[in-house]
Amino acid sequence: MKTLIQNITQLVAVPPGPVAGEAMRRPPIVEDAALLIEDDHIAWFGYRSDAPDHAGARVIDARGGTLVPGLVDCHTHVVHAGSRADEFEQRIGGASYIEILEAGGGIKSSVRMLRTASEDDLVAQSLPRVRRMLECGVTTIEAKSGYGLSPEHELKTLRAIRRIAAETPVEMIGTYLAAHTIPPEFAGRPNEYLDQMLESALLKSIVDEGLAEFADVFCERGAFDLEQSRRFLGACKEAGLTPKIHSEQITRTGATAMACELGAVSADHLEFVNDDDIAVLKRSKTIPVVLPGCSFFLGSPVAPARKLIDAGLPVALATDINPGSCTIESLPLVMSMAATMLKMTPLESLVACTANAAAAVCRADRIGAIAVGHQADLVLLDVPNVNRWTYNVGVNPVATVWKAGRVVVERGDRAVG
Ligand code: NIG
Ligand code: FE
C-alpha cells in the first residue's frame, strides 16, 4: 500500500534524535516537496519533481501545506480522575502549589478521586483528552501513573493507559510514578511506603505485563528527598524500568545530577537547574525536558531552555498535562509558549517535540523524524510553514494525521488566515 503526498510547501525533515544545541535551529527543509509512504514507513521524500515511480499509489494533494513528523508528548499525567478547579481558584487567591499539597490537597486530592474511580471510569474520563491531543497532531503519548499510590490503584491506572492505547491510534507509553507523593496512610513513613511500592512481585508484574517501560519520581519538598528518589529509581531500574525524574521544579534538590548518574533517560521540569547541573547533563545522555505550560499555569519561573540549548543539549518539550500544575492538552500551544516564554524558535520547538521527545522515550530510532525507513507518523498542516503554526497561537491548522502510515485524523478545510 503506497501513498504519495505532494504539493507540500514546506517539509521539515527533522532527523532522528537526539538533535542537540545549534542543530535544533536548522533541521533540513525541503520546499515544494513530496513524500512517499509505503505500508507503515516513509519510503522516500524530496523535491516533488524528483518523485519516484508511484504507479498505483493513492495521491494526496497537500494544498501547499506543511508536513512535519507526528508529535511526541513525552511527559504527561493525562490519565487522571476528576478536576482540581477549586485549587485553581485558591491559587489565584494566593495559595501556593506546595502549600496546597502540604495541606493534604494537590496530588492527594487527585489520589482520593482516582481511588474511587473504576478502571472503566478512568478510561472514560481520559480517552477524550487523548483524542483531543491526537487532533492537535500528537501520535505518541507517555502517560504516568502516580495518582493511585497503592499497588491496586497504580496497577489500575497502568491498565487504563493500556486500554486507551487499544482504543485509539495513539501509541501510549506507561510510566510507573508510584513515587509521586506519600499517601496519607503512610504519612511520616515514606520509606515504608517505598518498600511496598518496590515489592519485587509488583515490579515484576508491571514489567512482565508490559504495563510500564519507565519509572519516575517527584523529588521535591512535600514528596521524596534525594536519597529516597535514588532508592526508588535504582530499584525500578534493576527490575527493568528505565528511570525518569521530576527534578528542580519548585526548589533545587540536586535530583538532576543524581538521575544523570543513574542513567535516567530524561530529567524533566528543570526550572531551578544551575550551571553545575547543566555541566552534568552535558556529560550524560539524559535528555532535558522543559514544560513551560506548567510555569504558565502556576505563574512560576520558567526553565532556562535557551541556556540549555546554547550549552549544546538536546532539549525536549512536553505538555505535562495534569489536573494540578498544567491542564493544557495542546502540545502546539506549548510550542507557542516555548517561543514567547523560553525564546525557543518555532523550528527548535518542533525538533524538541519530535526527535528529542522521541529520544526521551527511547524511540528515536523509529519515530519523531522524517527519515527514510522511519515509521510514517506524520502531520499535514494547513499553513505554509512551521512559524505560522506557532504564530497563530491556539488555532489548530492540523489537516491530516498519519500513524504508522494510516490516516487517523482527517479534518475539513482548516486554512488559517
Ligand atoms: O509534573 N510535579 C509533580 N507532578 C506533576 C503535577 C501533578 C499534580 O499536581 O497533579 C507535575 O507538575
Ligand atoms: Fe509531571
For the chain, 417 residues long, the average pLDDT of each consecutive 10-residue run is 97 98 98 98 97 93 98 99 97 94 94 98 98 98 98 98 98 98 97 98 98 98 95 98 97 98 98 98 98 97 98 98 98 98 98 99 99 98 98 97 98 61
Can you say whether residue 405 is alpha, beta or left, with left for phi > 0 and alpha for psi between -120 and 50 degrees? left
Yes or no: say if 15 and 355 are a contact pair by the CB < 8 Å rule.
yes
Residue 53's alpha-carbon distances to 24, 232, 376, in angstroms, are 33, 54, 19
* HSE-CB of 312 using CA atoms within 13 angstroms: 7
Q: Which of 267, 274, 225 is nearest to 246 (CA)?
A: 267
What domains are defined for the chain?
2-69+368-416 (2.30.40.10), 72-359 (3.20.20.140)
Q: Which of 78, 73, 238 is nearest to 145 (CA)?
A: 78
Burial level of 207, CB count in 10 A (0-12/13-18/19+)? middle
Atom in ligand 1 nearest the alpha carbon of residue 101: 9
Retrieve residue 254's grid coordinates: 540536586
Q: What are phi and psi of 242, to 5 degrees?
A: -80, 130
Ligand 1 neighbour 268 (Cβ under 6 A): no
Q: Which of 146, 145, 137, 149 is nearest to 164 (CA)?
A: 145
The predicted structure's pLDDT at residue 36: 98
In whole angstroms, give the CA distance from residue 237 to residue 235: 5
In whole angstroms, give the CA distance from residue 298 to residue 271: 12
Retrieve residue 342's grid coordinates: 523560553
Long-range contacts, 113-118 (Cβ 8 Å, 24+)? 113/80, 113/81, 113/82, 113/147, 114/80, 114/81, 114/82, 114/147, 114/148, 114/153, 114/157, 115/148, 115/150, 115/153, 116/81, 117/81, 117/82, 118/156
Q: Which of 165, 156, 154 is nearest to 121 (CA)?
A: 156
The ligand with the least distance to the CA atom of 255 is 1
Ligand 1 neighbour 106 (Cβ under 6 A): yes
Q: What are phi and psi of 323, to 5 degrees?
A: -80, -5
Atom in ligand 1 nearest the alpha carbon of residue 220: 2
Helix, coil or strand: residue 247: strand
The predicted structure's pLDDT at residue 413: 61
CB under 8 Å to 306, separation ≥6 — which residues? 342, 343, 344
Yes or no: say if 205 and 174 are a contact pair by the CB < 8 Å rule.
no
Ligand 1 neighbour 322 (Cβ under 6 A): yes
Q: Which of 175, 180, 244 gets mutated to test ligand 1 (max ligand atoms within 8 A of its CB)?
A: 180
The ligand with the least distance to the CA atom of 294 is 1
The predicted structure's pLDDT at residue 323: 98
Q: State if pTM tops 0.85.
A: yes
Q: How does strand 58-61 pair with strand 171-179?
A: unpaired
Ligand 1 neighbour 230 (Cβ under 6 A): no
Return the residue whose CA atom lies nearest to atom 3 of ligand 1. 218
Measure 337 CA to ligand 2 centroid, in angstroms: 17
The predicted structure's pLDDT at residue 417: 45
In whole angstroms, give the CA distance from residue 19 to residue 26: 10
Q: Which of 362, 34, 241, 324 is nearest to 13 (CA)?
A: 34
The ligand with the least distance to the CA atom of 322 is 1
Q: Which of 99, 219, 320, 321 gets mutated to test ligand 1 (max ligand atoms within 8 A of its CB)?
A: 320
